[in-house]
Structure formats: structure tokens, C-alpha cells
């Protein structure tokens, strides 16, 4: 699948529909209109559901005010391309040595704000519109089955609700696989042994009477 038109036609194939969409953005068919209606919300939900590697973005935050209130030292503007702000970067990429930097989200008359005590803050967030070419094949397939399930009632009428249930089950399996393959795109540090494990490893082992 190289673009949204092909993805929608893949979805229609799962419904047994032979009529294809010529151009997803302009086609006035029932399938095209239904998919354009449900896709934006569904896509945002799926991006926010999991920290996809292709939709992850980091960068400096834009300072709005120092001492914005009595609780926080700084207020930063929420990145305009963010649909889900995840964390303030603190030098501990795996979150195993340092506690997460505290922050809270809010808003003013201009837009979203991020309040924190971190000076010169950098953040990590989910990118709103990752380009289609950056999606993995597994993600595209999962999206296609999810989309097929959502447009089934519009395209198939009476049989649509029954088909929707089946497709959502398949989509669930596709999403699980897509998340599994997405994790191949990162290699995190190995967590250190727990205090219990460290205690066991450092304990002195003494032989009992009769042991060789």
C-alpha cells in the first residue's frame, strides 16, 4: 500500500467489495465518504494508544512564561504538532534510574501549556501527522482492517454489523502484531537487578553439616 487510496481499497477487499475507490480524497462513493468520515478520529485514537516509533518526536519546548503561578516555575507551549505529550526529557531514556520530571498540562487563550519546574525543557510527544510512507506495513494492515470494520455498516447495510464484529476481532490480532514488530525499532537498557536479587547474589553461602 503506497497511499490512502490503496489502503481504503484493501479495506474494501476485506468486505468482499469489488468496486474500488479511484481517489480517496475526492471520490464521492459511499465507501470513500464513510472512510473519510471515520478515519481522522480512529487514526488519532490509534496513535495515542501506543508509543509508535514512527510517530515519536522530541525537541525543545517553547517558553511562554517563568513563574506562571505559585505551583510551577515555567510554562511552555504544547508543541502544535502534538496529539499526546508524553514526558519531559531528563537524561534517563529508559526511566530506570531517575524519577520522571514532574509536569502538568493546561491551557490559556492561545493554546495548550505544559507546566514544569524544568529549565530549558525538552519533551517527547506523539506526532500528529506522520507521513504515510513512515507507517510500517503491519501498521497499515491493522489500520485497513480497523477501517473496514468501521465502514462495514455503511457499505454492507444489513450485513455490515455482523461483518464489523468479525473484522474488529481480526483487527485486534493485527494491532497486537503491529505493536510487537514496532518494538523491534528500539533497544532499551537492561533493567538493573532488583534489591532482592542483589541481596541474594551477595549473600554468603555456607555449607551445611554433611555437605560435600
83 three-state secondary structure: strand
Q: Are 60 and 121 in contact (CB under 8 A)?
A: yes
DSSP sequence for 162-185: HHHHHHHHHHHHHHHHHHHHHGGG
Q: Domain boundaries in the chain?
A: 4-51+130-184, 56-127
pLDDT of residue 53: 94
pLDDT band for position 203 (50/70/90)? very low
Percentage of the chain modeled with pLDDT above 90: 73
131-150: pLDDT as tens digits: 999 999 999 999 999 999 99
> pLDDT tens, 24-80?
999 999 999 999 999 999 999 999 999 999 999 999 999 999 999 999 999 999 999
Give Dmax (Cα) for the chain: 87
Strand segments, DSSP code E, in 37-147 are: 56-60, 62-66, 74-77, 82-88, 103-107, 112-116, 122-127
Which distant-in-sequence residues (6+ apart) come within 8 Å of 151 by Cβ? 11, 15, 31, 34, 35, 38
pLDDT band at 210 (very low <50, low <70, confident <90, very high): very low
Cell of 110: 492561545
Amino acid at each position: 500500500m503506497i497511499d490512502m487510496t490503496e489502503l481504503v481499497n484493501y479495506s474494501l477487499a476485506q468486505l468482499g467489495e469489488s468496486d474500488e475507490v479511484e481517489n480517496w480524497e475526492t471520490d464521492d462513493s459511499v465507501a470513500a465518504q464513510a472512510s473519510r468520515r471515520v478515519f481522522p478520529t480512529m487514526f488519532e485514537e490509534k496513535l495515542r494508544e501506543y508509543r509508535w516509533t514512527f510517530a515519536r518526536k522530541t525537541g525543545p519546548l517553547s517558553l511562554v512564561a517563568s513563574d506562571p503561578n505559585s505551583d510551577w516555575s515555567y510554562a511552555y507551549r504544547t508543541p502544535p504538532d502534538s496529539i499526546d505529550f508524553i514526558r519531559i526529557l531528563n537524561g534517563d531514556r529508559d526511566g530506570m534510574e531517575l524519577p520522571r520530571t514532574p509536569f502538568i498540562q493546561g491551557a490559556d487563550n492561545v493554546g495548550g501549556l505544559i507546566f514544569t519546574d524544568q529549565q530549558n525543557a525538552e519533551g517527547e510527544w506523539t506526532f500528529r501527522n506522520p507521513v504515510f510512507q513512515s507507517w510500517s506495513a503491519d501498521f497499515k494492515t491493522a489500520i485497513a482492517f480497523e477501517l473496514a470494520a468501521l465502514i462495514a455498516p455503511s457499505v454492507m447495510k444489513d450485513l455490515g454489523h455482523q461483518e464489523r464484529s468479525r473484522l474488529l476481532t481480526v483487527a485486534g490480532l493485527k494491532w497486537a502484531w503491529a505493536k510487537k514488530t514496532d518494538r523491534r525499532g528500539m533497544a532499551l537498557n537492561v533493567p538493573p537487578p532488583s534489591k532482592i536479587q542483589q541481596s541474594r547474589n551477595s549473600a554468603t553461602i555456607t555449607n551445611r553439616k554433611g555437605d560435600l
